[in-house]
Structure 1
């Protein structure tokens, strides 16, 4: 065992290097193992730029992975031939003359509170590439890892009320939801647990068993002494980052308000029931708690939508719970006076083919699909854009990925033409091209 290189008289002089100290788990014994988000957040955080908040103070991004069929959701074609129309009928909405698919009865009732875009379009028919588009506002590039919208928002605004600015429920859904060329400090905080499960608790937000507040404070003092020792041993950026990590971790653990934001048990049973006691419902009610407490961007997923086979069964299994939960979320935000300041987005990576295939499903179709927005300064009771009679191509007001992303940033007060610095001091616009969809803004 090698000798200590510590300074004479240091009470923590030991025969261990910092690496060995970490490897044997002594820091873990101090009671803190927060998720990777907090661990890497301090690793090279970039300087914040002053950005003035817009009408939207927070975003809830509901992403349906796999490709939601436009015909069975927001853009039914009741007069098309059966092989295009699909297995379901359409229903009236609260907007005169507008119909949704029959499996969206809750959203149909509150259609006067939302905006639907039926002319989204891009050219990426692969799941990964389509997902990249919708999370970053960019087409994939082999030369650049683009940051997700959540990470850009984290960088521009930073944390609020001692809470992570960007949270994924329950986990980071895909590699494109990360910080890209930005510092990992702006990556998402992932819960690591699904609120739909019983006894839901976010990992590491509570003190470890047997550690009371007094012991917690003693350990904090010990940690400060340990850090002083290591700073004496070596001048390390990584060590400074670890200091910042623990500082943030202690703030989060010691903040009752921060911990309570994740506590679903504080919600009345009746309200939780109205969202639905399922994956979609409990993830969305937690998202509402988080934005109410100060989280700026919450991203969640629900269900599986890659219905190449037996589309009818897939829609019946997935869509009703999402319909109920999204409608409950919008109503709940409105009742709390939060809808005007919270932008709710329902999106997917692409649509499905206009014609039913030989196995009763629909295949990948990026040429036209539907998205939904509510709150955050977006108009209410509007359907923007139009697909053709078979639901296969945009017919009016085609909307690009860049348009969609730029509009979201605009509502938050972020100028999407602003350039951020990628590695090598390369300036890259937050969104390259596109326009703000002023037609859908209140």
Structure 2
């Protein structure tokens, strides 16, 4: 490969079927395998058409440039990935046309069990010798490109560039270190208090993962959750968080911390396929191991976890409720916000995203009031996130919100500091919420 010239270049394309795990979850492994084989047959037909076009194009130009390989090569890499090795062209647009022709064939619906299934794929392209002159390096370059294509959107094409390859190398290094961090106890649980809007008492905490990166220092979830999702280790990270949070809270209670409701985030990936059943089993084992009552654990789920026609979110939710844990719908209003799901599923708590409490216009107040009234009608408690000012707190009091969390209450703190925060920030009259309540009473708004 290292002897290739521009006239004898190779074009390696990796295709990664978008959201194919959902297809497997819905149709099962046998039918999903049949889908993949039907898709590969389409690709072979498309490659045959490409070769016919290339032959006619060369004849029209009056000469045939010898290709680095005589015919395209198609190979399956995994249950949702396959690679195509094509004779390359010095004109990037021609290579793009070939890849897009294959993507169009993949997007044509396939009949399975009397149903039309629509597939799409992300494609990553690497050229030899421009991007790499060794087979392994070329494969890595194409993988870097397809991962970027999946980040951008489905059914898209990305060509490898030196900058992309360098960024991907850093991402892979971070991914490997994150795997080691989960196993090597480099992760730490922080806790953010949740307080009653009416009394100011701290009644619960939300557990939040922090990573002590060897080079970058303390990292918040926003810095590494996307990497965990792409690496397929969000379930592993989530299980670690559930076990660690329960163990840490129970340990602190043995040293005098008052009993608090514990909230832990659960990713949507933990609700799909077999991992959903694994989630229920893991939660049960963690509770039994530490002796915590299931009712004291609240799992925060997102709308994506339950509004997924190819997943099994509702079934997992029912199993968790049967176990006795509570469920909170996180970031309400920022996703699908299906009221039918909200009515049908046994959600205990609605967490209002901070975007709905930041505005103070008449319309903002009306929307906030409507969310709280709807939750109350459905017998759900309401917790407002991201509360930073007293004005926001007063507004929540007036509208009947139950709980709040945010920097006005307390930022997330490590476990060893939680007890001191509760003692020093919330004793009697020094509680900022108690001051707020007195203001409300003076205004005649006592509840």
More helix by share: 2
TM-score (norm 1): 0.24
**Structure with the greater relative contact order (CA < 8 A, sep ≥ 6): 1 or 2?**
1
